[in-house]
Structure 1
């Protein structure tokens, strides 16, 4: 760990750097898990090529996801009553505890616990897909990996899972649970265990294209990354090579 990273870790914070590498705006949304703060009031705007850096406390746990196709006024409210095409959280810029609407590509992280300093993070397609994303430690680190779905799943989304925007373009790809519901597809009820809930053909498709992302609720643990760093880079539409 560099001197700078040691100083940042000693301050009691982890730095998150969010970069929009997409050709259009995204509106990142954030939500702390129960008992954890929600940074940046839950959401903000990133224009194409823009980035934002902020701190979260050590041991922070929560999720981040991109919203696309949004329009907000100066007060952070949707204009003309419209909502983000994907990932919307109640028609407002600052999500304030709203978990967001599927489909959305979700980054999940737990940056240490009282019993362990290890950080865990992953990219999940359990709630579907709406944009390529990645998360990686800045400067690398021992045992650290890249969590990502760098491919655009919208290009190959099965018609049964498609979500289209106001112009009729494919804007997101729902999970099998989101599209069809039921215990079998949602890994609930009689299918609420790893032994009973198996990946569907759609989960197999997601996994084949994005092997470093969770494709369904009980996906294998190879998609979970373990690390200990003081800075992480989260990229929307990460550049090649895809992960």
Structure 2
């Protein structure tokens, strides 16, 4: 674990994401997500079903992408490709917001209604999640509970890559949101629990602290699970943050 510098984290700090104004925006974004994007209007258009078609293995992701089955089989373990390709994550993990890939389509409510009924979609989403967990040095050890642990081999190098490549923090926010949209919401909290262990107890992912506290935990949809995570983080940060418990 010598690869990972120890940092002093305070809930008041937002060194990665910027000012207090940015934090207010993050809080509002998380609440809007948890509330199901109230007031967001969508006109059902047969042409705007790109996410559904991609998950049905009917179209390739763009730009310079592939069919989902090809990605899930041939891209697995190709860490350079997964790191450097900047267009596939928005397709594997669609959310109801426009991402940084202008060719991808935001997930729509009517797509969600149909996709969550399709066992093939759930299977591919779970495999997509496994793909990215492996990329981050982690493993889904229980598909029922969502428990995540470090990979048995090679996790140190993957943790180091995650710690020094901040754009992956944004990817993780998207992945957690997508799990909550497409039928795997019960995976959100266990992944965050893993980050709490590795960030505050082991220190191996100390650089994730800001994103974990301000961006990942707040989008966990299960209120009780989210509150439990907040309380657990407070145990580790109260000494640095005084009366400020990060809430």
Same fold (TM over 0.5): no
TM range (shorter): under 0.3
Q: Which structure's relative contact order is higher, taking Cα pairs within 8 Å and 6+ residues apart? A: 2
Indicate the structure with greater helix content: 2
* TM-score for the superposition, normalised by structure 1: 0.25
Indicate the structure with greater strand content: 1
* TM-score for the superposition, normalised by structure 2: 0.25
